[in-house]
């Protein structure tokens, strides 16, 4: 039994992969943690996820009347997918489509207090782009 102990000590001192990097030195431990986090992120399949604000407007379409009813908040989206990041397999993202989706969800006429943002997700098999448009749906008084 006593002959095992020096062998175990020697084995413990050896470096084995990423886990082995986490030795006594703090910078090694730091690198090991970073590498482990990167591996964990990549393992999910998502290589990149980012959001960019793209618009802020008082209204999406020309105001056809001065008096209107507020129907409520709504959000519309338009998305596209690029196979292997460069080959488009669906129609491109369309601002009008997103606006109309938001308006039609509450059967209104226009969208006011408009905020738009663009989301991009890069996966191993391709890239997803989503345009979000959010605002207050209104209906003109007739």
Partner 1 sequence: MSRKKNRVAFLLLLAALLLQYGCITSPVAVTSSTTPVNDKKIVMNYGPVQGTHRVWSVFGLWMVGRPDIDLAIQDALKKKGGDALINVSCYQKTSWFFFVSENKVVVEGEAVSFDAGSLEKDRGKQTIKSKK
Residues near partner 1 (CB under 8 A) are: 34, 37-38, 41, 46-59, 63, 66-71, 112-113, 115, 117, 119, 134, 139
What is the smallest separation between the CB atom of 98 and partner 1, expressed in angstroms? 15
Task: For 8-52, give the DSSP string.
Answer: HHHHHHS--HHHHH-SSSHHHHHHHHHHHHHHHHHHTTEEEEEEE
What is the biggest distance separating any 2 CA atoms in the chain, rounded to whole angstroms? 95
Q: Cα–Cα distance between 57 and 59 in angstroms, integer?
A: 5
What is the smallest separation between the CB atom of 69 and partner 1, expressed in angstroms? 4
Minimum CB distance to partner 1 smaller for 11 or for 27: 27
Q: What is the H or E stretch that residue 68 is in?
A: strand 68-83
Minimum CB distance to partner 1 smaller for 63 or for 89: 63
Collect all residues with Cβ–Cβ distance below 8 Å to 55 and sequence separation of at least 6: 114, 115, 116, 117, 133
Minimum CB distance to partner 1 smaller for 20 or for 55: 55
What is the smallest separation between the CB atom of 55 and partner 1, expressed in angstroms? 5
40, two tokens? 């964990």
Minimum CB distance to partner 1 smaller for 2 or for 58: 58
What is the smallest separation between the CB atom of 3 and partner 1, expressed in angstroms? 40
């Amino acid at each position: 039994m006593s002959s095992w102990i020096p062998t175990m000590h020697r084995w413990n001192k050896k470096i084995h992969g990423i886990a082995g990097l986490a030795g006594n030195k703090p910078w090694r431990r730091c690198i090991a943690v970073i590498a482990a986090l990167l591996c964990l992120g990549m393992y999910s399949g998502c290589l990149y996820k980012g959001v960019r604000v793209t618009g802020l407007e008082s209204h999406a379409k020309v105001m056809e009347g001065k008096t209107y009813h507020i129907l409520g908040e709504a959000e519309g989206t338009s998305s596209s997918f690029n196979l292997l990041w460069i080959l488009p397999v669906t129609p491109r993202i369309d601002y009008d489509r997103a606006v109309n989706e938001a308006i039609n969800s509450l059967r209104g006429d226009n969208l006011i207090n408009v905020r738009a943002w663009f989301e991009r997700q890069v996966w191993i098999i391709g890239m997803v782009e989503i345009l979000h448009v959010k605002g207050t749906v209104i209906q003109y008084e007739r």
